[in-house]
Amino acid sequence: MDHINYELDITDEDLELKGAAHKFAKDVLRPAGIKIDRMTAEEATSADSPLFEVMRQATELGYNRMGAPENMGGSVVSPLAAVLVNEELAWGNMGLAGAIGLSSAHASIAMALGSEEIKEEFARPFFECTDGSIIGCWAVTEPDHGSDTLGVMQPEMVVKARGQLIARKTGDDYILNGQKAAWVSNGPIATHAMLNVHLDPDNTLDQGGICLLPLNLPGISRGKPLDKLGVRAMTQGEIFFDDVRIPKRYMLLDQTMFAPYMNIHLAMFNAGVGTFATGLARAAYDAAYDYAQNRIQGGKPIIEHQSVRARLFRMFTLLQTCQSLSRGVFVYNATAMKRGVAVRLEHSIASKVYCTNSALEIATLGLQLHGGNGMTKEYPCEMFVRDATALTVADGENAYLAQLAASML
């Protein structure tokens, strides 16, 4: 069965944006993603990597500045249009969709929390850039504190520990020392960072802050890019800070608002991951459906075999529920945030957990449907399985996220 949009009120403009994003995903992201997936981590981040051409084209088309102010080069799109576009990008390649989305991390938080001076320094240059030369990242995870800093809005999740990136206030500046883990997405290629820091190293991890900074400051260095199982087109790597001095205006948020803001930020972030997982799930379903229509076994296309149709039916039902849940949660929370209504983090976590688990099941069923061909790199289904597997681990392990959501009910 073909998957459909259950949202009958999608406008012609939304469908046009969706169609354009699908074309870009098919013509650019899918082939580039497969090529990068087969590179070494060092090759993927080298100057001649196709990753940078992808970022250039995505920036030129405006996919990393949807919702930004029009006077800064952004475009006004509805939350539903944004989710449709991001789903299409992830259909093309999960890793590249993530890299594109995270490239605006520093600019988006500058718009949300920054002064006019900060907006002019960090947001405007990014949103007005059309060549992809400015790339952001969100540097949050640390070697010994992966999910610890992502649960600080819940009292039972607050951990007394010393963060591994300390920001010490001195006069009108902050001095940064420490490191971020190898899981910083876009870390090897980013020019700017949204950076979580620990402001009181003798206290709990909710005593944190969020700052912005360019990554070319003295004292900043990077480790080698991470060689990983899946989502290989979204490069990741360590960032080190050795007496890095930043002006206090770069510290957008201190411990007084750290936990409440993380609740909002994670609500939108996890809703986005649910959307990307849905795009990946649809890519795996489409590949399996097309293969079943063309693969001849027993003298007829395998889609005519009952066992194959049963497998496709299971994949179809999972995909359609992923689309309904991820789209509904993203649109609700994006609309709530604009209206000043409380966002619902537990629903975003539910979307992330359900959609990533479903994407893995769909991708696995699709690989099995391909038979021996599914084990080869001639078909993308083995990459879909690896990418889906990576999603069930990244951004907080699913069991942890489910536990966190349950504690909020």
Quote the pLDDT of residue 350: 94
Residue 165 host element (H or E): strand 165-170
Confidence of residue 299 (pLDDT cuts 50, 70, 90): very high
Q: Is there a single domain that holds both residue 123 and residue 203?
A: no
Average confidence score pLDDT of the chain: 92
Q: Is there a single domain that holds both residue 262 and residue 385?
A: yes
Residue 206 is given by DSSP the state: T
Q: Is there a single domain that holds both residue 153 and residue 52?
A: no
- pLDDT higher than 90, residue 45: yes
Q: Any idea what the CATH number is for the domain that residue 295 is in?
A: 1.20.140.10
Quote the pLDDT of residue 4: 75
Q: Is there a single domain that holds both residue 79 and residue 168?
A: no
Q: pLDDT digit string (tens) for 258-289?
A: 888 888 899 999 999 999 999 999 999 999 99
List, in order, residues 6 or more apart from 317 with CB less than 8 Å away.
none
* Rounded distance between C-alpha atoms, residue 160 and residue 162, angstroms: 7
- pLDDT higher than 60, residue 128: yes
Q: pLDDT digit string (tens) for 214-226?
A: 999 999 999 999 9
Tell me which residue of 399, 55, 133, 90 sits closest to 231, measured CA to CA. 90
Q: Is there a single domain that holds both residue 220 and residue 205?
A: yes
Confidence of residue 318 (pLDDT cuts 50, 70, 90): very high
Considering 82, 105, 128, which residue would you say is the last residue of a domain?
Answer: 128
User: Considering the domain boundaries, does residue 3 fall inside one?
Assistant: no
Average pLDDT over residues 39-48: 97
- pLDDT higher than 90, residue 55: yes
What pTM did the predictor assign? Answer: 0.94
Q: Is there a single domain that holds both residue 247 and residue 262?
A: no
Which has the minimum average pLDDT: 32-36, 289-293, 295-299, 404-408?
404-408
User: Considering the domain boundaries, does residue 207 fall inside one?
Assistant: yes
User: Considering the domain boundaries, does residue 232 fall inside one?
Assistant: yes
Q: Any idea what the CATH number is for the domain that residue 237 is in?
A: 2.40.110.10
User: Considering the domain boundaries, does residue 7 fall inside one?
Assistant: no
Q: Is there a single domain that holds both residue 165 and residue 95?
A: no
**Total domains in the fold of the chain:** 3
Considering 253, 268, 290, which residue would you say is the last residue of a domain?
Answer: 253
Average pLDDT over residues 319-346: 94
* Rounded distance between C-alpha atoms, residue 180 and residue 128, angstroms: 29
Quote the pLDDT of residue 404: 59
Considering 128, 158, 184, which residue would you say is the last residue of a domain?
Answer: 128
Confidence of residue 52 (pLDDT cuts 50, 70, 90): very high
Q: Is there a single domain that holds both residue 265 and residue 379?
A: yes
Average pLDDT over residues 96-104: 97
Q: Is there a single domain that holds both residue 20 and residue 54?
A: yes
Q: pLDDT digit string (tens) for 348-401?
A: 999 999 999 999 999 999 999 999 999 999 999 999 999 999 999 876 556 556
User: Considering the domain boundaries, does residue 306 fall inside one?
Assistant: yes
User: Considering the domain boundaries, does residue 315 fall inside one?
Assistant: yes
Q: Is there a single domain that holds both residue 305 and residue 375?
A: yes
User: Considering the domain boundaries, does residue 4 fall inside one?
Assistant: no
Q: Write out the residue range of the structural domain in which residue 337 sits.
A: 258-408
Q: Is there a single domain that holds both residue 150 and residue 209?
A: yes
Q: Is there a single domain that holds both residue 272 and residue 247?
A: no
Confidence of residue 208 (pLDDT cuts 50, 70, 90): very high
Q: pLDDT digit string (tens) for 144-170?
A: 887 777 777 777 778 788 899 999 999
- pLDDT higher than 80, residue 294: yes
Q: Any idea what the CATH number is for the domain that residue 86 is in?
A: 1.10.540.10
User: Considering the domain boundaries, does residue 248 fall inside one?
Assistant: yes
